[in-house]
A and B are shown apart, each in its own frame.
Chain A
Amino acid sequence: MCLGIPAKVIEVDESGQGKVNYLGTKVKANFALLENVKIGDWVILHAGFAISQMNEEEAQETLQILREYAHIKS
């Protein structure tokens, strides 16, 4: 099952282990598949591993596109 909602990194140690906040719950996470993870990053978690860091610029761009569709009348 893919979790589409990103989690926020709250702890990360040198070995690449840490924790994320996923919808208010602290969850263990392994960051071995990512480079330069920092506290505060938004990541996608899958089977205990963070697999992607969210690109904020792209997220904002998609939000902007979606907001424009709110004004289209059928």
Chain B
Amino acid sequence: MKEFRDKKVIQGLLAEIEKNAATLKKPIKIMEVCGTHTMTIHKYGLKKLLAESGVEMLSGPGCPVCITPNEVHEAAIELVTSRPNFILATFGDMTRVPTKKGSIQTIVPAHGSRVQIVYSPEESLAMARNDPDKEIVFFGVGFETTIPAIAICVKEAYGERLSNYAVLTALWLIPPPLRAIVQAKDIAVQGFLYPGHVSVIIGKEPYRFIAEEFGIPGAIAGFEPGDILLAILSILDQMNTKKAEVANAYARVVKPGGNRQAQVIMAEMLETKDAHWRGLGLIPKSGLKLKKKYAAFDAEVKYDLRIKAGSNDLPGCCCGEVLQGKTSPPQCPLFAKQCNPESPYGPCMVSFEGACLAYYKYTWR
């Protein structure tokens, strides 16, 4: 992998980017959709280096922990604080998101109940098998990358008739918010750096409307600095030749058609729904829920959770604007003051894919 981080390679790529950007109107606004791309761009100093060539990188909505609105986090808190003998399993970042009810990490679970951090949804399934006296709910958050894994777990639970297992789903699709961002026209995104591992699952096709309907160039990128610069070079080349497409600059991992098995299991288990995103609001068909056949494993149905969509954001938090690329984290009045990694006020400072944390760690000082 060392070539992907090699100083001479990176300098060569940056020189080529400067050359390709020379004739284009500045600043050239490119949105990196994926939160892990945001981290790479800041960690390796690419944010500043690209700005010197007139390329302005904007962070997008690609952090699932960040875009899950507070009412869903609060529903998870409600479950584990009100139900005895209950285990709420979820990914580590999810436990630190602050809400008006506190964060999952700070609340006191009901008698005999607890919160369990897991790395894989399979661990939550194993807990349900091994502990039949406890109710297990996996607070499953993720994009297309994570969704197939969650779907497999529900399929297994259904097959084994595990009555003590359910999933509180916060499952998000990447193409619909991109359409919303382009149509909103608040920020004139001129190019998209498409997420690497969402694209592993869905392939190139679902982004085609961005090139064809809106004429906006884009490229799927890997996660090394060399990968990201290659993809940006492709976007600039598309701008110069006025031929917008969905380029694949991560072909060693992403197949044009995506992962067929993953697509099959998603289609079998889940259906689309209109979903509320933090900052972006209601986006048609942008979320997934379990099909009726699997409703017994849907925590929202099983526990009759009436999650009321609406702004439950903590007052003053700018995460909603940050996720749309409208506000840069240091512009938020709370940034690095009341809101910092030790004591985050909003989810974008919590998550390892959050733009505020990326700025705080690598770019701000």
Contact = CB atoms under 8 A, between A and B. Distances in A.
Interface of A: 1-2, 4-6, 28, 30, 32-35, 44, 46-49, 51-52, 54-56, 58-59, 61-63, 65-74
Given A1-B353, A52-B253, A74-B11, A47 B119 contact: yes
Interface of B: 1, 3-4, 6, 8-9, 11-16, 18, 34-36, 40, 91, 119-123, 142, 145-146, 148-149, 152, 195-197, 200-201, 222-224, 226-227, 230, 251-255, 259, 261-262, 265, 352-353
A45 B231 CA distance: 22
A33 B262 contact: yes
B152 A32 contact: yes
A68 B3 CA distance: 11
B196 A2 contact: yes
B145 A2 contact: yes
B251 A55 contact: yes
Contacts of B251: 55, 58, 61-62
B34 A2 contact: yes
Given A4-B222, A48-B120, A62-B230, A32 B261 contact: yes
Given A32-B261, A70-B8, A74-B11, A49 B152 contact: yes
Sort A-B residue pairs by CB-CB distance and give the 6 closest, nearest first: A48-B120, A4-B223, A69-B12, A74-B15, A72-B12, A59-B252
Given A49-B152, A54-B252, A72-B15, A67 B196 contact: no
B121 A47 contact: yes
B252 A47 contact: no
A9 to B, nearest CB: 15
B128 to A, nearest CB: 16
A69 B252 contact: no
A56 B251 CA distance: 10
Contacts of B352: 1
A52 B8 contact: no
B338 to A, nearest CB: 25
Nearest to B36: A2
Contact of B14 (A6, A48, A63, A74): A74
20 contacts: A1-B352, A1-B353, A4-B36, A5-B1, A6-B253, A30-B152, A33-B262, A47-B146, A48-B122, A48-B123, A49-B148, A49-B149, A49-B152, A51-B145, A51-B148, A58-B252, A66-B6, A69-B16, A72-B16, A74-B18
